[in-house]
Structure 1
């Protein structure tokens, strides 16, 4: 029998919110997410997250160290060492105000581009001072591995049901270079990357109206910085993100000196492979969910599958420096 991590996680959040042990007059902990790969609860101004079973402690230590030394990019953790809850590692964070999904016109695309440029320009090694030891070396960015898990999820779903939507996704994935499928090391130079960028990863900190900051370090590490631009690029290419929003994001990233794309001119030679990978990843998740629920694809999922059907192997000249 699986024991829920929610009660001990809520207790950790409550203890961090009231470290002096004073009686708590605030409301009970609120569950923000409860998935196999992450459980997140909030109590007052503290958020506690239980990471996926099997999370590597050394890797999480290094990722926390990056977030702690970049308070102008990330919401800093409350402590730099993960807690242990049975077979799960957990971390504590201050609460930040998330993006309001009901006001898409106010989406912080400029802030997202600026924060990513700051992250990508950060040296991969931590500072060394008289009072601060060198931070542990960050591990590889996990974006390609996360994409590969999405394709595994689709293949697993296909063992019990079939759909004509799956073959285009599988072919688009198979046509990608090995590094983009998590099957080979990523090409250099090594750059600090978030690994899973979308608007749900931005919050205002301090709440409620502080500056925008990034959250979620689970996939953070060194890799190809274009991966962090790939989700909005893919949605733009699929017609799911309006051109003006894509332009706001890309312009802000370039203005802040982001190295993933040239400062001027066509960004797509750098973005093509990562955008294809994120399209296949997102389509695979959407198709797998539709199969599990025994329902047809919605409009967004259909657009992603159609994009996969249009994909061909990226010409070598479109991916300079990226081995196939």
Structure 2
């Protein structure tokens, strides 16, 4: 009898939402995603010290800002370690502080891809992860045309998703748990049954819209709070899941039923191409999406700053005094 994780893998591509190599080895996902918070968490683990020291030593020999070079190389080296374990993609995130700067996002993505390619990793294995702001989506559109595949994250509503699909983005990460968090707090409801979970409803709508209207953009549900959310999205293209929830799935031998499939259709009409003003209006009309997008960028930035402090105090300062 297969456990629920094994059953899920027969209907959905399972992705590990972690930078912890040991957890990835344990659950054998197809891909892995990282973000500044996960990179910061990984950087504090003892087993990654040699990797970070190597990145810092490399950065000192480069032109430009040593801290920025270190940060880029830490992300790339962690991605390379993950790629030794997963057969598919690893997602590497652009600095969240660039979320409202299209040109800077493009340049940073090109830089990260160049570092991967210098290390012998083909760009086809990398998803550049970018926040789903208007500026981020426009940057990703340019990058996709250059053969740099992208993962648009911090995605909370249908307008963000449709703008990504219209820009021919490879993959989007619509969030589930963070949407649930907002509605629990806003509406004062402690529990939503899985099918009524606002995050589940949002991702299901996006998935059905894409399949109905023939968009090739991959839908990868993200940010889960419980097993029920995952079960209600079984059959989605991809699901990125934390090690704790992967473990819970692996320990549950109950039957898992496929909920979503490519034949799942919606009556929702196809949207016209979104202009910038229309995109911003739809986002503004959605208080949850507006607040969670801004909060997500702030939190990723906070963890980036913490990571920079760690790199400076524990690694770069030691090299300067050596």
Question: More helix per residue: 1 or 2?
Answer: 2
Q: Between the two structures, name the one with larger relative contact order (CA 8 Å, sep ≥ 6).
A: 2
